[in-house]
A and B are shown apart, each in its own frame.
Chain A
Amino acid sequence: MPDQSTSAKLAPGAGTDPVDAISVRDVTRDYRRPRTSLRHPSPPVHALRGVSFAVPQGQRFGIVGESGCGKSTLLRILAGLDRPTSGSVAIDGRDITGLRERQLRFVRERLQLVFQDPMSSLDPRMRVGDIVGEPLVAQGHPNRRERVAELLEAVGLPTDVADRYPHQFSGGQRQRISIARALAPRPKIIVADEPVSALDVSVRAQVLNLIADLVDELSLTLVFVSHDLSVVRHVCDRVAVMHDGQIVETGPTEQVYEEPQHPYTRRLIAAVPTLGKALSGVSAADLNREYRP
């Protein structure tokens, strides 16, 4: 049976705060489709169907699923960019579902996003220093230049990059810039949406190391979304597998990876090509075949 527990807590000592960083209760989100008939409205799209989970402070929580499973809708709701049709979302114990934009300010400070494509998520006409410093403007930070330099150093970029433009950087460096920007308002929660899937393998390892270091040093809570279970396995303590707008399985990452319970999770794991599998003779046809134990 898939584990649907909503009250998973880390072992004592990992966080002193008893309140979950993120708690999602029975969230649904329906989108209306444009009418195609004069007589009947089109049936709605159920992007999320009763999603519940909780992320304790300091946990690294992975969400795995493929295009169209509702990951992005869920992230938008977590970040207060969209509202659920029903259900509730609490950040640090404060319900954000009914709040107006002005009241969501604390979410913007507590929770920051890192996006998948570092080219389209950075304004090409702004200098790196201004991109990283922009969240500080919104907060009226007194010492912006210094803080920007500190952030660039933290993500492993030389401070003189502040005067350059995003197009002058490689994909990995741009993703570092995105991470610096996300860290600017000193958030406690980082939500990363496929942060390494656009990167080369060697750069992917660098960025994953960086994220792991920062999460440790700044004791952040991490929500890491990916379609690649092997990346999530390296980064996260706990994982939720999403399919068709529902969480079909949650559990400690290692357990889900080693003993997947839900057929979809098994298929997902079976489809991931790895060097080890390939060298032991697993062909493309085998990856495509549904996993049967």
Chain B
Amino acid sequence: MTPVPDTAPASAQDSPDDVLAVRNLEVAVGGRKLVEDVDFTIRAGERVGLIGESGSGKSLTALSIMGLLPEDLRTTGSVRLAGVDHDLVGADETRMSRVRGKEIAMVFQEPMTALNPTMRVGRQIAEVLLIHRTRPDRASARAAAVELLAQVGLPDPEAAAHAYPHQFSGGQRQRVVLAIALANDPALLVCDEPTTALDVTVQARVLDLIVRGVEDRRSAMLFITHDLAVVATVCERVMVMYGGRVVESGPVREVFTRPRHRYTQGLIGASDLSVVDDRGRLITIGGSVPPAGHFPAGCVFRNRCDSASESCATRPDWRPTGPDSGYACFHPVPENGAHRTGVPMNQEAGRA
């Protein structure tokens, strides 16, 4: 077994600053496409959000980048990571296990299931340092673990290293998970709904720690959530996903103040609880997300969209509006209709 060279040539990277380059990513099961044509790049120090409702393919995208999908799901396309000399798609477990926890790390939604309940948290952090041989021996790994616990703001990190996960609160556990993820200064940090299960003040603290953690390391970040406000707070760029496709992307300010895709417009309207229509009701997107593989052909959003027409039965092309921005919609929100993010969508389906 040959050791992986520490500084692999960044072959096939588009630019030296690119940390993650995803091209034509597709995840399918039994001929059904769950994620298709996902294409994006994240540069060093860049924080990119991935938003959409449950069932739109966000987590599948993240898991396929991490190589953590179950075996019956087939991933095709290309995922290149700076400092890794092979494609992550199709890489075997041996190679992936050298990348995971080192170049690329993940923070999951549920910190209790992400941690080993039978292991002291200090050892769990030290483990990731020893496995990847980033610290020479147990003693220095232990010291580094305590230092990491201090970095994520746990009071009395020495004592915390000796404790078991159940002795912590949800927010503290998530901070431990973050400490593990940041232990090897990953080039890319993937966060999948890291604060959804937390209280608001705890969420604020964990978000602050995540942002500081990646800023200090100049790591790239892919941040998945269904909470638009969280993405707008944490990220610089955002991709909106629906039906397994990226339907719109661009800088946070642009996408959230001047959305072009009708789905983005709907999401923004629905998440704004201060805007109501003339009957005092919140704006909603009609209907619900279809089960995976049952999205309509053509534009995936057309069965829930007020603006849909016959042309939407064919698939809309990606219309670029900038280097990292664009949308795929035949009937985009007019650009001069600018700030009216609260345009009423469907009134709620099912109720008159």
Contacts and interface: CB of A to CB of B under 8 A. Distances in A.
Interface of A: 66-67, 156-158, 170-173, 200-206, 208-210, 212-213, 227-231, 233-234, 267-268, 270-275, 277-279, 282-285, 287-288
Given A66-B202, A202-B267, A283-B233, A212 B273 contact: no
B227 A67 contact: no
Nearest to B280: A212
A264 to B, nearest CB: 9
Contacts of B266: 202
22 contacts: A156-B349, A157-B350, A170-B54, A170-B289, A201-B53, A202-B267, A202-B271, A204-B271, A205-B348, A209-B281, A209-B351, A230-B273, A272-B200, A273-B227, A273-B232, A275-B272, A277-B233, A278-B232, A284-B204, A284-B210, A284-B211, A287-B233
A213 B351 contact: yes
B227 A170 contact: no
Interface string B186-223: 00000000000001111111011011100000000000
A277 B204 CA distance: 13
Interface in B317-352: 348-351
Nearest to A208: B282
Contacts of B274: 230, 233-234
Contacts of B256: 275, 278-279
B208 A285 contact: yes
Interface centre among A202, A212, A273, A285 (most CB of B within 10 A): A202
A286 to B, nearest CB: 9
Contacts of A205: 270-271, 273, 282-284, 348
B200 A275 contact: no
B205 A288 contact: yes
Contacts of B271: 201-202, 204-205, 275
A201 B348 contact: no
A157 B348 CA distance: 12
Interface of B: 53-55, 169-170, 199-205, 207-208, 210-212, 226-230, 232-234, 252-253, 256-257, 266-268, 270-274, 276, 280-285, 288-289, 348-351
A172 B289 CA distance: 10
Contacts of A230: 273-274
A287 B285 contact: no
Nearest to A232: B273
Complex A-B, nearest 3 residue pairs according to Cβ-Cβ distance, in ascending order = A278-B232, A156-B350, A287-B204
A268 B201 contact: yes
A287 B207 contact: yes
Contacts of B208: 284-285, 287-288
A284 B207 contact: yes
Given A201-B226, A283-B233, 8 more contacts: A66-B201, A156-B350, A209-B348, A213-B281, A278-B232, A284-B207, A284-B210, A287-B233
The interface residues of chain B, by DSSP majority, are classed as helix
A231 B204 contact: no
Contacts of B285: 202
Contacts of B348: 156, 205-206, 209-210
B228 A275 contact: yes
B280 to A, nearest CB: 8
Given A203-B53, A284-B207, A209 B273 contact: no
B282 A278 contact: no
A166 to B, nearest CB: 15
Nearest to B285: A202
A173 B233 contact: no
A282 B229 CA distance: 11
A201 B271 CA distance: 5
A275 B229 contact: yes
Contacts of A170: 54-55, 288-289
Contacts of B234: 284
A175 to B, nearest CB: 12
B200 A271 contact: yes
Nearest to B263: A202
B48 to A, nearest CB: 15
B199 A284 contact: no
Given A201-B53, A201-B227, A278-B232, A66 B200 contact: yes
Given A201-B226, A201-B267, A201-B271, A273 B54 contact: no
Contacts of A213: 281, 351
B54 A279 contact: no
Given A156-B350, A213-B351, A230-B273, A273 B283 contact: no
Contact of A67 (B199, B204, B205, B212): B199
Nearest to B207: A284
A209 B282 contact: yes
B200 A228 contact: yes
Contacts of B207: 273, 284, 287-288
Contacts of A229: 200
Given A156-B351, A234-B274, A282-B233, A201 B289 contact: no
A271 B201 contact: yes
Contact of B170 (A67, A202, A210, A267): A67
A205 B274 CA distance: 11
A172 B285 CA distance: 13
A176 to B, nearest CB: 9
A271 B203 contact: yes
Contacts of B276: 234
A202 B201 contact: no
